[in-house]
Amino acid sequence: MRIILYLLVLAAVLPACTASNGTDTAPAPRRPNIVFIMSDDHAQRAISAYTDELIETPHLDRIADEGMLFRNSFVTNSICAPSRAAILTGKYSHLNGKIDNLSPFNPDQWTFPEALHDAGYRTALIGKHHLQAVPRGIDEFRGLIGQGSYYNPVFVHNGDTLTADTGYTSTLITDYALEELKRNAASDQPFMMLYWHKAPHRNWMPDTSDLAGLLDKTYPEPATLRDDYAGRPAAEHADMRIADMFTSNDLKVTGEFQNPDPGTGGATFIKNPNFDQVKNFDRQLGRLTDGQRAAWEPFLQRVGKEWQAVKGTDEELGWRYQRYMQDYLASVKSVDENVGRVLDYLDESGLAENTIVIYTSDQGFYLGEHGWYDKRFMYEESHRTPLMIRYPPLIQSGSETDALVINIDLAPTLLELAGVTVPEEAQGRSLTPLLEGSTPGDWRDEIYYRYYQQMDSYHRVARHEGVRGDRYKLIHFTEPGFEGYELYDLEEDPQEMENRVDDPALAAEKERLQGALRELREELRVTD
């Protein structure tokens, strides 16, 4: 196999060395560079390499067209910070300790960037970090504070909090990523750059260049937009419906057109009953420069007038959905264009041939399916995440795989390709055989999922775990008051509308999956 031969040669020549008689040996080949691109809350359905029903993403599609598209890529825990911790450590949440957005992340534990740094790589993290404490082994850190803002954000640079930059955040993150790449292009040192976007995370504020004509765009409604949640009590109880979004911060209706905001917006009142979303959105608008505000003003006026015309009518939900999708997909468009800038530079600088490029998201997202936005549930739209990898020496252009892969597989994959030992504590599995075009006979048949955040927290999603195979999925809700199982046949019911846990025809499958869940818990050392 090509990767085995490649690694044998790489291991033999990694050190810069000279012969025993003092004569120079042939120069060692450069180890692969790594550009790891991640966005936040990017649904597979919002990338045209997967489907073009909503948007064209030509630059992101390049990565798949020139590399491999993973059709069945999943996360271990569908929420932002825990997903990032799983990616960095190659371990499930229960072992890396980052089980939800509120729990601390231990920066002293092993991460793959530190392993690469110790192996001689220059390492950088540019953009959204969201783990508070910076992992060890990062040479260049320029990160947003918390979620960051879409406009004029504040960055922390190697420990120093800077004054606010002027500009759109997706563009600014890319500007800094390009600065890092230009420095790397002038050096012989291999590099690994985490180029991590804020977008398309809530509250989806498009760039000023994308506002013109945005409100005239319409998108097809998903078949399950008006889901009644029959047979799925945890889904019914969740607070993440588009119908309950904040009209201000989410849909961009200003206080001039509605005050107070009627939305629950994810049960924010549970944590802070006095939080005013109209004032919150005003603060976002207050960050804008005079020029940015001038571009937004006519847009906001039209949004407000449209809202007044539809609120309380049968057309309200449809309008809310379109308003959400317009902003979300405009945020994706900016990510796509900025990724294109990075891909172009890799080509122009000559770095592309020896650089692994990954594109993924910290999880998927609901784009109206089941009437929702957000993530968290083990249902397909948020359990899935996009994954595309390009590496010309190894991956055949335009290749695809249907194998079940998870985000903890990325750390061992990158280490193996860099010729660095993968520690036993990493729970993921290297994707290199898949990248070569073959699926090992012992590749996983099921994947394990676990969501920890409790019902009294944002969005009121019940705690649950589960197991998913090629066709069937079993979800076990463990939240008091919502205990029980859900079982889905993904071939006959890909939208997961019919819970068949009590269907005698699937009794054997239910028992098999319950056994698989017990076995995976034991294998992965899940003790609670």
Q: Say which amino acid occupies 8.
A: L
**Rounded CA separation 78/342 (Å):** 27
pLDDT digits (tens, 9 = 90+) for 270-327: 556 678 899 999 999 999 999 999 999 999 999 999 999 999 999 999 999 999 999 9
State yes or no: cis peptide before 494, omega within 30 of 0: no
Neighbours of 89 (CB within 10 A): 27
Q: Containing H/E element for 279?
A: helix 277-286
pLDDT in tens, 97-126: 999 998 889 999 999 999 999 999 999 999
Sequence-ordered list of residues with C-beta below 8 angstroms from that of 419, at least 6 positions apart, any chain? 7, 10, 11, 14, 31, 119
The model's confidence at residue 269, banded by pLDDT at 50, 70 and 90, is low
Report the pLDDT value the prediction gives residue 289, as an integer from 0 to 100: 98
Integer Cα distance of 40 and 82 in angstroms: 12
Correct CATH for 1-18+26-434 of 2.40.50.140, 1.10.10.10, 3.40.50.1860, 3.40.720.10: 3.40.720.10
What mean pLDDT, rounded, does the chain reach?
93
Pairing, β 191-196 against β 33-39: parallel
Amino acid 270: pLDDT: 58
- Residue 23: the pLDDT is 45
Residue 13 confidence (pLDDT): 35
- Please give the C-alpha separations between residue 62 and each of 48, 182, 254, 283, 385, in angstroms, as whole numbers: 10, 21, 38, 37, 18
DSSP string, 316-362: HHHHHHHHHHHHHHHHHHHHHHHHHHHHHHHHHHT-GGGEEEEEEES
Among all chains, which residue has been given the structure tokens 């193996």? 416
| Sequence-ordered list of residues with C-beta below 8 angstroms from that of 158, at least 6 positions apart, any chain | 140, 141, 142
Q: What is the pLDDT of residue 273?
A: 66
Per-residue confidence (pLDDT) for residue 15, from 0 to 100: 40
Q: Is 22 exposed, middle or buried (0-12, 13-18, 19+ CB in 10 A)?
A: exposed
Residue pair 342/273 in contact (Cβ under 8 Å)? The answer is: no
The predicted model gives 342-367 an average pLDDT of 98
Say if residue 12's pLDDT is above 50: no
Helix axes 410-417, 80-89, angle to 10 degrees: 30
In the predicted model, what is the mean pLDDT of residues 394-404?
98
Write the DSSP assignment of 442-510 as a string of letters. Answer: T--S-EEEEE---TTSGGGPPPEEEEE-SSEEEEEE-STTS-EEEEEETTT-TT-----TT-GGGHHHH
**pLDDT of residue 176 exceeding 70:** yes
Q: According to the model, what pLDDT value does residue 16 have?
A: 37
- List, by residue range, all CATH 3.30.1120.10 domains of the chain: 448-523
Confidence (pLDDT) at 28: 60
Of 161-175, 180-194, 453-467, 475-489, give the lowest mean pLDDT range: 453-467
pLDDT band (50, 70, 90) for residue 24: low
DSSP string, 423-447: PTT--S---HHHHHT---TT--S-E
Q: How far apart are CA 517 and CA 78, in angstroms?
A: 18
pLDDT at 25: 55
- Given a cut of 50, is residue 47 above it in pLDDT? yes
Closest-CA residue to 57 (of 388, 407, 404): 388
Which tokens go with 515?
């056994």
Q: Which helix (H) or strand (E) holds 192?
A: strand 191-196
Confidence check: pLDDT of 268 > 80: no
| CA angle (78 as vertex; 161, 156 as ends), nearest 5 | 5
Residue type present at position 270: I
pLDDT tens across 417-440, in order? 999 999 999 999 999 999 999 999
* 6 pLDDT more than 60: no
- More confident call, 420 vs 134: 420
High-pLDDT (> 90) share of the chain, %: 89
* pLDDT at position 298: 98
Q: Tell me the pLDDT tens digit for each residue of 461-511.
A: 999 999 999 999 999 999 999 999 999 999 999 999 999 999 999 999 999
pLDDT of residue 413: 98
The better pLDDT of the pair 218, 159 is held by 218
Average pLDDT over residues 252-261: 96
Split at pLDDT 50, 70, 90, the class of 94 is very high
- The whole-number average pLDDT for the span 320-341 is 98
Quickly tell me which residue has 């009437």 as its tokens.
371
pTM here is 0.94
Distance between CA atoms of 240 and 375, rounded to whole angstroms?
9
Residues of the chain with CATH 3.40.720.10: 1-18+26-434
Question: Residue 227 carries which DSSP code?
Answer: -
Task: Evaluate if residue 171 carries a pLDDT over 50.
Answer: yes
CATH 3.40.50.2020: does it fit domain 448-523? no
